[in-house]
């Protein structure tokens, strides 16, 4: 795919955003909405086809992170801006439940205190489908799921309306993108370090995880959403009309690796819905059946396989920050965290680039800083 054309005499700064997942799309939209000339580069045939389309599709609000208040607060605050921007992509509402296992690292009292700190509702309920005695408490909460296909359509509409130039199937070097723009934002998730190296920026140490999320046909089970906290437990989420997806803390992660480059080959990921040879479906299902009896008749129809990339060494806190860093004077690196923080991340990138250029943002001109703003910011 050829490079998007840019005017040779620009009155505004030009930014190339590499990676068209939800973070790249959100960053491009926020930049364009603030008056920057933006081009979005994606190696695949379409936007939002990577991790954005291969997860549990939950739009977090902070309930999931009682051991890390920073992640919880960023999810709570990010939910609002994400809903304002992409709320039309939210799936049909189903009851959302968080349950506390008897051996959970977080007690029911601690979970309730966590919700009180966040200022969010968690209503104790009885959930009929739960195996008796499998949890010590269950709460209904206010969260949402997004429809990945609908999100893609809405994202395209917004990109076109914002006049963001989109280059799909881009296979050229990142250095070529850097030569065409004043700034580059790298939001490619799994290949973050590979792109940073191409831009002659230092890589960062990351933890790479190859994850399997089985999709099961559950015609006899009402649509439900359940997260069992806080330990080696499970999450169950609706997927279409009569299907659910399963995630298990222990069995869904096939491989972990800490380093500066991903060991996961493209063929390991397969298509968005794959029948992988070494599926752990039976183990994942058995784990989930500890809590939900109606899963006894679930039929495996395939698995969503994706690569998760996180900050290493967060096992004790389960932190999932979005890490935004100046990798060079003209390159911003974005390690994506929770989907709900993507719009706030875009606004942070706008503020950082605006501070370096003095370009007007929403009618206000920011002064050029006397010194560069470097380092890392956690959203």
Count of residues making up the chain:
379
The pLDDT, as a whole number, for residue 358 is 82
**CA angle, 170 as apex, 335 and 191 as ends, to 5°?**
25
Structure tokens given for 184: 């580059």
The pLDDT, as a whole number, for residue 370 is 30
The Cα–Cα gap between 140 and 63 comes to: 11
What are the residue ranges spanned by the domains of the chain? 1-91+146-204+317-379, 94-143+206-311
Other beta carbons within 10 Å of 103: 10
* Cα 345 → chain centroid: 11
Task: State the CATH architecture for 1-91+146-204+317-379.
Answer: 3-Layer(bba) Sandwich (3.50)
The pLDDT, as a whole number, for residue 6 is 52
The pLDDT, as a whole number, for residue 162 is 98
pLDDT under 70 in the chain at which residues?
Answer: 1-3, 5-11, 266-275, 359-379
Cis status, amide bond into 230, omega within 30 of 0: yes
The pLDDT, as a whole number, for residue 362 is 52
The answer to whether the CB of 228 falls within 8 A of the CB of 234 is yes
The pLDDT, as a whole number, for residue 272 is 57
Q: What percent of the chain has pLDDT over 70?
A: 89
Structure tokens given for 189: 């998730």
The pLDDT, as a whole number, for residue 337 is 95
The Cα–Cα gap between 161 and 159 comes to: 5
Count the helix, strand and coil residues of the chain and give each as a percent rounded to the nearest 5.
Answer: 30, 25, 40
Helices (H), ranges, the chain: 22-33, 69-86, 108-118, 148-161, 174-180, 192-198, 266-269, 281-288, 342-357
Judging by beta carbons within 10 Å of its beta carbon (0-12, 13-18, 19+), is residue 177 exposed, middle or buried? buried
Other beta carbons within 10 Å of 275: 12
Judging by beta carbons within 10 Å of its beta carbon (0-12, 13-18, 19+), is residue 54 exposed, middle or buried? buried
Per-residue DSSP letters for 77-130?
HHHHHHHHHHGGGBPPP--EEEEE-TT-SS-HHHHHHHHHHHT--EEE---TTB
For the four alpha carbons of 215, 246, 78 and 320, in that order, the dihedral sign comes to negative
**Partners of 124 in the β-ladder:** 139
- Cβ-Cβ contacts under 8 Å for 229 (sequence gap 6 or more): 64, 66, 98, 99, 100, 101, 104, 105, 106, 111
Phi/psi of residue 301, each to 5°? -115, 0
Give the CATH number of domain 94-143+206-311; options: 3.30.9.10, 1.10.3080.10, 3.40.50.620, 3.40.50.360.
3.30.9.10
Q: Strand 165-167 and strand 243-248: pairing? A: unpaired
The Cα–Cα gap between 339 and 244 comes to: 20
């Amino acid at each position: 795919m050829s490079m998007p054309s840019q005017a040779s005499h620009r009155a505004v700064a030009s930014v190339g955003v590499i990676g068209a997942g939800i973070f790249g799309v959100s960053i491009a939209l926020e930049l364009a909405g603030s008056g920057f000339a933006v081009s979005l580069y994606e190696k695949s045939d379409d936007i939002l086809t990577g991790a954005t389309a291969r997860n549990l599709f939950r739009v977090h609000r902070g309930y999931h992170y009682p051991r890390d208040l920073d992640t919880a607060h960023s999810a709570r605050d990010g939910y609002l801006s994400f809903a304002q921007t992409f709320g039309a992509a939210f799936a049909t509402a189903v009851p959302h439940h968080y349950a506390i296992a008897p051996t959970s690292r977080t007690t029911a009292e601690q979970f309730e205190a966590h919700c009180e700190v966040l200022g969010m509702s968690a209503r104790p309920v009885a959930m009929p489908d739960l195996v008796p005695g499998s949890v010590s408490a269950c709460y209904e909460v206010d969260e949402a799921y997004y429809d990945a296909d609908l999100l893609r359509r809405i994202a395209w509409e917004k990109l076109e309306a914002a006049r963001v130039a989109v280059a799909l199937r881009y296979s050229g070097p990142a250095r070529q993108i850097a030569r065409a723009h004043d700034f580059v934002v790298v939001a490619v998730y799994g290949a973050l370090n590979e792109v940073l190296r191409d831009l002659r920026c230092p890589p960062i140490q990351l933890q790479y995880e190859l994850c399997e999320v089985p999709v099961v046909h559950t015609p006899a089970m009402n649509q439900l959403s359940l997260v069992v906290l806080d330990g080696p437990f499970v999450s169950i989420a609706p997927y279409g009309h009569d299907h659910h997806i399963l995630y298990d803390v222990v069995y869904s992660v096939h491989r972990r690796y800490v380093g500066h480059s991903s060991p996961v080959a493209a063929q390991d990921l397969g298509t968005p819905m794959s029948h992988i040879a070494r599926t752990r479906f039976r183990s994942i299902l058995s784990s989930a059946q500890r809590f939900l009896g109606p899963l006894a008749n679930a039929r495996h129809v395939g698995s969503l396989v994706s690569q998760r990339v996180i900050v290493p060494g967060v096992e004790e806190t389960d932190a999932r920050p979005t890490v935004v860093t100046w990798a060079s004077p003209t390159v911003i690196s974005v390690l994506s965290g929770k989907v709900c923080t993507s719009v706030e991340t875009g606004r942070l990138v706008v503020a950082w680039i605006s501070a370096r250029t003095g370009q007007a943002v929403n009618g206000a001109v920011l002064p050029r800083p006397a010194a560069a703003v470097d380092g890392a910011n956690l959203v």
